[in-house]
Structure 1
Amino acid sequence: MTGIRIAVAQPTITKDAKENGATVRKLMREAATGKARLIQFPEGQLSGYPKEQLQDWSEVDWPVVRDELEKIKKLAARLRLWVVLGSAHPLTPPNRPHNSLYVISDAGEIVDRYDKRFCSNTEITQFFSPGFEPIVFDVDGYRFGCVLCVEVSFPHLFAEYERLGVECLLLSAYPVDSTLELKARAHAAINCYWISLSLPAQTTHLMASGVIAPDGTYAATVAPSAHLTLTTIDRDTPTYDIPLNKARPWRSTALKQTIYTTRRVADPRSTNRTCS
């Protein structure tokens, strides 16, 4: 089999980290049974998400969150499964947590962590400290990156990941309206890469979780009554020859501008934009 098989989770999130951790491990086992190499979870999956499950950080039992995270790491090693897990990441008091995605390798180690850079107004004023860096990581020769929720409204982040060579961008969210899907599909088609969209079960009335292909169409979706979908991302699939092998390289060439500047003309009918 060519490509890489990934699982996208659509679980119910609660305010109980122990319950959330058990849900994560259950879906990890299902993903491993389906021969996935990576599973992605929504924003705030382990800790619970502010404004929805949580109204204040005092409601979070941080030792339980850490304990559940350790159990998830150990299971990742046993299953040989990469895990991208949404959770608040506590900092040293009185600093507010980061809104994060833990990247757990198939050796059971946290190899990186994405901290949300563009938090919503409520998030930045009441709940979170911002991050400032993109992250990329490679699994079986495929390059992944991470973004969170409202960052879908910041196109330069998606262009940045295209320049970093990402082939699948993992977008985890807790959406409040259906425009997130429209924007995600546009970013996938413009940047010519896959976008994997993991959302909680509580938001299926807005859109389904799933994997958007480099042409902006869905490669897979999670059914409203389900909690997981699996699909294979394969850069050699003929269906995506144009976006991957023609459009994306051309866009990279065009952005360098050389192909245009070397063809600049010295013509008064060009410089005079009022002539007929």
Structure 2
Amino acid sequence: MTRNANFKRRVRARAAKTGESYTTALSHIRKSEPVDLARPVRSLRLAVAQTTTYDDPRDISQLRAAGVEIRRLMQASKQAGARLLHLPEGATCSPNKRIMSSTGRHPIGPSDWSRFEWAVQREELNAVRLLARELELWTVLGAVHQLSGTHRPYNCLYVISDSGELVTRYDERMLSNTKISFMYSPGTVPITFEVDAVRFGLSLGMEVNFPEIFREYEQMDVDCVLFSTTGGTVESDAAFAIEAQGHAASNRYWVSFATLAKGEAALSGIARPEGGWAARCNLPETPSIAVADIELNGDELARPWRRQARLGLYRPYQVEGDIRSDDRLAF
């Protein structure tokens, strides 16, 4: 990826306007913009993963296998030079509503969370934490967060630092009908964190369907939103991926889309601020990673322009009523 494409674009624009050669235009801009040239580029290599579906938290072997898989993907991310690994919703386990139902599979009832092997999940998460410290790799992964007493758990994303510390947790806020009726407590707040001066926001589950979640993070000055999901039907899987691209383009920031390895309808990937994929997993049903360099050089013009537009930029130019006729249907 070109590290200063916007600067080169300004050089070409000056050359076209003045008739100067590219070299001459470059010399003039270097003299007039020394501070701009010295501005450091913020950059971070991000890995996004797709993982196997594990949906029975009663099964210790599934929880162990999920942990092993996560740590293998962490090793692969480190080998690829990644600074941060982003994993899907339910990477440790995404409990099946019918397995958890206290009234049996039909009809579905409130989840019986006493069936969850919480101690085993904690052991696997601790192993992930220790490996994150060993690899010096930030790791964001989906899990179920147990609450005290009779409270339903949170469906969450844990953020583990490169020193192996649990630095924050995001709890899914916009729960599906099934999740809010039978399974989880809803979260209440957006969460951001920073790695190497790159600011991240977190989103989860079906929240890609709620533009206000992604708009809120734009207002919080994030550079990238990490969206984790298990997906759903084939149709919703494809729509989720497209919506993630749309949020990247409309908010002019990076979006990482992490989902389960289920098929070609949706593959984990990283969308650029223009909306196109910078990287995408290419093995539909195989746990794997894709890697891209997030680079931020401070020359983004569309994002501040859209902020101005939303704050009433057009009002002074609007015409009150039709100055030719009161009939709006007249030609």
Q: TM-score, normalised by structure 1?
A: 0.90
SS of residue matched to 1:133: coil
Deviations 1:247-267 (A, max 9, x none): 11100111121x233445567
Deviations 1:138-174 (A, max 9, x none): 1111111110121111101110001111111101001
Percentage identity across paired residues of the two chains: 38
CA distance, structure 1, for counterparts of residue 126 and residue 91 of structure 2: 15
- Is the contact between residue 97 and residue 183 of structure 2 (CA under 8 Å) also seen in structure 1? no
1:261 to 315, 326, 329: 315
CA distance, structure 2, for counterparts of residue 92 and residue 40 of structure 1: 28
Partner of 2:296: 235
Structure 2: runs of 5 or more not aligned: 4-40, 57-61, 102-110
- Is the contact between residue 43 and residue 86 of structure 1 (CA under 8 Å) also seen in structure 2? yes
Deviation at 1:48, TM superposition (A): 2.9
CA distance, structure 2, for counterparts of residue 166 and residue 66 of structure 1: 30
Partner of 1:219: 278
CA distance, structure 1, for counterparts of residue 327 and residue 300 of structure 2: 36
- Is the contact between residue 269 and residue 275 of structure 1 (CA under 8 Å) also seen in structure 2? no
Partner of 1:188: 248
- Is the contact between residue 248 and residue 254 of structure 2 (CA under 8 Å) also seen in structure 1? yes
Deviation at 1:52, TM superposition (A): 8.1
- Is the contact between residue 47 and residue 60 of structure 1 (CA under 8 Å) also seen in structure 2? no
Partner of 1:68: 124
Deviations 1:77-121 (A, max 9, x none): 111110101001011131111000001111111111000000000
- Is the contact between residue 49 and residue 287 of structure 2 (CA under 8 Å) also seen in structure 1? no
Change (3 A) 1:268 1:33: closer
CA distance, structure 2, for counterparts of residue 251 and residue 45 of structure 1: 35
SS of residue matched to 1:208: coil
Q: Which moved more, 1:103-112 or 1:222-231?
A: 222-231
Aligned: 1:250 with 2:301: no
Change (3 A) 1:70 1:272: farther
Deviation at 1:227, TM superposition (A): 1.0
Change (3 A) 1:272 1:229: same
SS of residue matched to 1:245: coil
Q: Which moved more, 1:164-173 or 1:11-20?
A: 11-20
Aligned residues: 268
**Structure with larger Rg:** 2
SS of residue matched to 2:314: helix
* Amino acid paired to 2:241: E
1:4 to 44, 49, 52: 44
CA distance, structure 1, for counterparts of residue 140 and residue 324 of structure 2: 52
* Amino acid paired to 2:46: I
CA distance, structure 2, for counterparts of residue 268 and residue 221 of structure 1: 50
Change (3 A) 1:260 1:125: same
Q: Which moved more, 1:50-59 or 1:162-171?
A: 50-59
Partner of 2:11: none
Structure 1: runs of 5 or more not aligned: none
CA distance, structure 1, for counterparts of residue 114 and residue 49 of structure 2: 27
